[in-house]
């Protein structure tokens, strides 16, 4: 049985979205907890959530590369492949927050795969890969898949720009920024510019402009005043150089930040400090882009007495223990790396209240202490301790409030891997305090064993790899694999984004997580403490239990897309809705397609269950009950998802080409080889060298003519239609032998009145439609009446063809020919191409040098029922240490990742 069939059999659409209440483990009477669990269950059932992980073949790229990708769409509650959304949107976004490429992909069994080709016209810089479903818009862009990608380019631009920044106080107290710019060629030699002009831009405002020259080393010093109140924005320097050959070159570089200020925050565990009880206070120090910075300091009371000292650990995080005394206040005296110091007032302890203290060091259990102030002791009152993960309640216990310290032990085997929320609930079912913990439960992870048939290979030798899943609850799983030369594509192990870091950590956290894979490289005590510090300092808002209990969470506005829909309203010409109006949808982009529908009582119509690829042209026509065209079609707006600011600002690289210099050098060698073999066009570079002696202007540049735009037996353009008021009146005098019947149907005289085929913007329509078509909307008319031009249209063109191309207006999605006819080209599914993997054992005559940076990519590997799988490929012509990365998910939502390295000599 195939993977697809098994998923359909065992994975119902809403599996995992219902509450998994482990009531047998509860030490609480079910009826007293029933109200709360029903609220949770109702909300989770009616508001399912999804998350996405995208497996990429490489961590960074150069222009000319192809980004190979596979998206896994999982239920947010249990990581099982989602059967909800059937469409995924993937965008490549530049550092100006503009979408430069986009994919719309059909989802099958919670997965899809495709690729993005990086044109040599792209500038080097920091791009983002964003992926989401319509359903995910309910939780907002903070929970979209959003990864920063560095893309290098010195293929079409042989000059690199490197920048460094320092900060200082001006005499007037303003913050000055000193930047050092260096321009160099690909060999690192400085470029002396005859003239340099520049602009310093913050967000969209130019804050300084000027001119100058680079020195003999290609350096240029530029100072400016940091804009006030602009820490949330992003700046850039745009430099225009006049080269010795008088050619102008424009380069851009990002400004690191508006200042070098360090933000230090202190977070009491579970939110509260209680007088007389020891409390953990975790701190986090970050620079303006969100990266952790080291600090040290001392804990002091209101009299400046030093109580203890502290030092930050990993990424500026650490914690201090404080037992606050009644009437005292406390502060942290912090020292920074530059020698400066600052005092921070710590949160004031409460006289009355509750607090939670958690020890998450043990790999098998979580130890919890509940602190209760003396005034809250109550023989009849009851506290409930709960643990939930994305709406799934996995642990509950209760205790009468007889003691000021209550302890509990939570077995980790009952918890879901990932971020769990510990909550303390009152006897009125109201949250008192909460604490996040991260759980690594091996029961949720697939133990993959991967091996190759050899440890060392020759160039162009076949590699056979196999893997197995020992002891898995379900052997059937879907995988993707990428193989690269790790000496060229060097992985950043701590900052890798992978299936573990995404589905278990970052997809449930709001905000930037620095070096996420650091927390998965080891299970030792130190790493566990560092991960716990992250939980204590990071915001988390996928579910708000307080709002949930108080019925403040709204129902979802966006539903899971099952297919494309085309919707609108049919109105009378007066503008009033036409109940039960007739609407037809046409397309002939890939074979003729037509479907009819009837609007509802309010005139609204829907065409759903549509599947179409990108660039599909549609025509919508409306009629009233008497089949008269006296109606107006209005399409529903389909607003695009807005692009928000990059939440991963800490991953931005100022000097991309410099950071990727080794990879770019190898890529340039590969691209030169591709150029020799004819696989790559260097159009961007060669454009200035082309001398145009005569320019031919295509009279029908926007035509959908299958022969090619303008390849016709006769062409008329807009200027030919002067003094015309209709197509039937205009064309016969301008196209010999063309005539129109009384009914407005065109034909050629030599065809004895047989109707011609009419295409509007590539779509075949009824011939009589031309009598209603406004001549002012026509850009060109092409006549096809010879065997050579009609052949490509087959039987459709036997009596001649008229191709009508309409005028393009201001980039609008919809073109209104008449009130009752609308033409538009919606965004459809993107066609995917297949990764080329050479078979050298078969094609031994292939002597072209093989310098691929991605040696192998396969997004569709399925293990069998016993958990075994295999794949094979050939090494390239480059020696080195090769690295294979295998990732996937099985039917139960258990995720897997394994890497294997081998040598090629």
Out of 1.25.40.10, 2.170.130.10, 3.40.50.720, 3.30.43.10, select the CATH number for domain 714-808: 2.170.130.10
- Tell me how far the alpha carbon of residue 451 is from its chain's centroid: 32
- List, in sequence order, every residue forming a beta bridge with 870; answer none if it has no partner: 466
DSSP helix/strand/coil, 675: helix
The reported pTM is: 0.83
Spell out a b/e string for 132-157, using b for 16 or more CB atoms within 10 Å of the CB, else e: bbbbbbbbebebbbbbbbbbbbbbbb
Lowest mean pLDDT of 19-23, 80-84, 228-232, 736-740, name the range. Answer: 19-23
Mean confidence (pLDDT) of the chain? 86
Question: CA torsion sign, 212 to 216 to 219 to 222?
Answer: negative
How far apart are alpha carbons 306 and 681 in whole angstroms?
Answer: 68
Spell out a b/e string for 684-698, using b for 16 or more CB atoms within 10 Å of the CB, else e: beeeeeeeeeeeeee
Q: Is the pLDDT of residue 70 over 70?
A: yes
| 8 Å CB contact between 790 and 797 | yes
How far apart are alpha carbons 657 and 487 in whole angstroms?
Answer: 18
Q: Is the pLDDT of residue 674 over 70?
A: no
For residue 546, the model assigns a pLDDT of: 65
- Tell me how far the alpha carbon of residue 429 is from its chain's centroid: 38
**CA 67, 70, 74 angle in degrees (round to 5)?**
145
Lowest mean pLDDT of 132-141, 613-622, 682-691, name the range. Answer: 682-691
Alpha helices in 324-467 (DSSP H): none
Question: If residue 537 lies in a helix (H) or strand (E), which one and from where to where?
Answer: helix 525-537
Phi-psi region of 708 (alpha: psi -120 to 50; beta: other; left: phi over 0): left
Which residue has better confidence, 41 or 597?
597
| Averaged pLDDT for residues 771-798 | 83
For residue 544, the model assigns a pLDDT of: 63
State phi, psi for 718 to the nearest 5 degrees.
-55, -40
Q: What are 704-731's pLDDT values in tens digits? A: 888 888 899 999 998 888 778 788 888 9
Query: What radius of gyration, in Å, describes the C-alpha atoms of the chain?
Result: 33
Residues in the chain, total: 905
Q: What are 634-646's pLDDT values in tens digits? A: 988 877 788 888 8
For residue 814, the model assigns a pLDDT of: 52
| 8 Å CB contact between 888 and 111 | no
DSSP helix/strand/coil, 604: strand
The neighbour count for residue 810, using CB atoms within 10 Å, is 4
Q: What are 48-62's pLDDT values in tens digits? A: 999 999 999 999 999
- Give Cα separations from 184 to 122, 155, 218, 249, 660 (angstroms): 19, 14, 6, 12, 15
- List, in sequence order, every residue forming a beta bridge with 358; answer none if it has no partner: 368
| 8 Å CB contact between 177 and 226 | yes
Query: Which residue, chain included where needed, has tokens 């001006």?
Result: 170
């Amino acid at each position: 049985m195939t993977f697809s069939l098994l998923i359909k059999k065992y994975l119902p659409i809403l599996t995992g979205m219902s509450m998994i209440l482990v009531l047998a483990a509860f030490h609480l009477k079910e009826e007293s907890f029933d109200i709360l669990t029903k609220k949770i269950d109702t909300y989770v059932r009616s508001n399912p959530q999804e998350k996405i992980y995208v497996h990429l073949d490489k961590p960074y790229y150069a222009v000319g590369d192809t980004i190979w990708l596979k998206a896994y769409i999982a239920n947010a509650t249990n990581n099982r492949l989602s059967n909800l959304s059937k469409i995924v949107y993937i965008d490549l976004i530049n550092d100006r927050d503009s979408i430069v490429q986009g994919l719309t992909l059909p989802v099958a069994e919670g997965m899809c795969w495709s690729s993005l080709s990086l044109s040599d016209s792209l500038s080097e810089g920091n791009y983002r890969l964003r992926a989401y479903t319509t359903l995910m818009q309910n939780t907002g862009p903070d929970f979209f898949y959003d990864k920063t990608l560095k893309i290098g380019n010195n293929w079409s631009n042989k000059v690199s720009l490197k920048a460094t920044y320092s900060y200082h106080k001006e005499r007037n107290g303003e913050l000055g920024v000193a930047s050092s710019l260096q321009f160099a060629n690909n060999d690192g030699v400085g470029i002396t510019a005859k003239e340099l002009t520049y602009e310093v831009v913050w967000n969209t405002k130019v804050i300084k402009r000027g001119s100058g020259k680079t020195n003999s080393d290609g350096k240029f010093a530029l100072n400016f005043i940091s804009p006030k109140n602009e820490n949330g924005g992003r700046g850039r320097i745009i430099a225009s150089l006049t080269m010795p050959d008088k050619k102008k070159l424009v380069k851009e570089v990002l400004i690191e930040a508006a200042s070098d200020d360090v933000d230090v925050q202190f977070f009491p565990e579970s939110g509260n400090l209680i007088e007389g009880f020891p409390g953990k206070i975790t701190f986090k120090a970050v620079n303006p882009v969100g990266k952790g910075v080291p600090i040290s300091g001392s804990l002091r009371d209101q009299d400046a007495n030093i109580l203890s000292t502290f030092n930050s650990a990993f990424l500026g995080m650490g914690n201090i223990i404080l037992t606050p005394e009644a009437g005292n206040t406390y502060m942290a005296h912090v020292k920074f790396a530059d020698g400066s110091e600052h005092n921070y007032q710590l949160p004031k302890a409460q006289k009355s209240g509750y607090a939670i203290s958690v020890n998450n060091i043990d790999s098998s259990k979580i130890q919890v202490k509940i602190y209760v102030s003396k005034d809250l002791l109550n023989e009849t009152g009851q506290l409930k301790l709960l643990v939930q993960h994305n709406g799934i309640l996995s642990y509950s216990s209760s205790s009468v409030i007889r003691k000021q310290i209550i302890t509990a032990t939570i077995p980790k085997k009952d918890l879901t891997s990932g971020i769990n929320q510990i909550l303390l609930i009152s006897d009125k079912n109201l949250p008192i305090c909460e604490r996040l913990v991260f759980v690594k439960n091996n029961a949720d992870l697939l133990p993959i064993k991967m091996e190759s048939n050899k440890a060392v290979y020759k160039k162009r030798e076949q590699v056979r790899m196999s893997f197995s899943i020992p002891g898995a609850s379900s052997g059937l799983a879907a995988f993707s694999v990428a193989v690269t030369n790790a000496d060229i594509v060097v992985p950043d192990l701590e900052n890798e984004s992978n299936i573990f870091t995404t589905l278990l950590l970052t997809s449930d956290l709001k905000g930037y997580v620095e070096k996420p894979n650091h927390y998965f490289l080891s299970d030792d005590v130190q790493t566990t403490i560092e991960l716990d510090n992250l939980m204590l300092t990071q915001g988390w808002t996928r579910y708000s239990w307080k709002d949930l209990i108080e019925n403040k969470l709204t129902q979802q506005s966006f539903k899971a897309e099952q297919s494309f829909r085309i919707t609108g309203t049919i109105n009378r010409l007066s503008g009033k809705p036409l109940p039960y109006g007739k609407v037809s949808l046409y397309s002939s982009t890939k074979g003729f397609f037509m479907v009819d529908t009837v609007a509802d009582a309010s005139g609204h119509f829907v065409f759903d269950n549509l599947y179409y690829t990108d660039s599909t042209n549609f025509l919508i026509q409306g009629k009233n009950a008497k089949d008269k065209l006296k109606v107006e079609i209005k399409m529903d707006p389909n607003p695009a998802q807005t692009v928000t600011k990059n939440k991963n600002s800490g991953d931005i690289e100022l000097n991309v080409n410099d950071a990727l210099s080794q990879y770019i050098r190898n890529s340039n060698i590969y691209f030169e080889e591709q150029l020799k073999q004819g696989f790559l066009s260097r159009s961007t570079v060669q454009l200035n060298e082309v001398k145009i002696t005569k320019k031919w202007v295509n009279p029908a540049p926007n035509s959908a003519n299958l022969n090619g735009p303008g390849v016709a037996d006769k062409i008329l353009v807009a200027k030919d239609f002067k003094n015309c008021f209709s197509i039937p009146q205009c064309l016969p005098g301008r196209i010999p032998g063309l005539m129109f019947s009384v009914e407005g149907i065109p034909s050629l005289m030599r065809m004895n009145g047989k109707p011609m085929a009419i295409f509007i913007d590539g779509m075949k329509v009824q011939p009589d439609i031309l009598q209603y078509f406004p001549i002012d909307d026509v850009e060109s008319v092409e006549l096809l009446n010879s065997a050579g031009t009609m052949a490509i249209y087959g039987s459709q063109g036997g009596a001649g063809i008229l191709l009508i191309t309409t005028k393009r207006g201001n980039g609008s999605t919809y073109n209104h020919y008449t009130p009752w006819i609308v033409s538009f080209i919606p965004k459809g599914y993107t066609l995917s191409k297949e990764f080329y993997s050479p078979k050298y054992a078969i094609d031994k005559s292939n002597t072209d040098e093989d310098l691929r940076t991605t040696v192998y990519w396969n997004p569709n590997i399925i293990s069998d029922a016993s958990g075994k799988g295999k794949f094979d490929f050939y090494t390239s012509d480059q020696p080195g240490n090769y690295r294979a990365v295998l990732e996937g998910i099985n039917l139960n939502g258990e995720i897997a990742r394994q890497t294997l390295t081998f040598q090629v000599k």
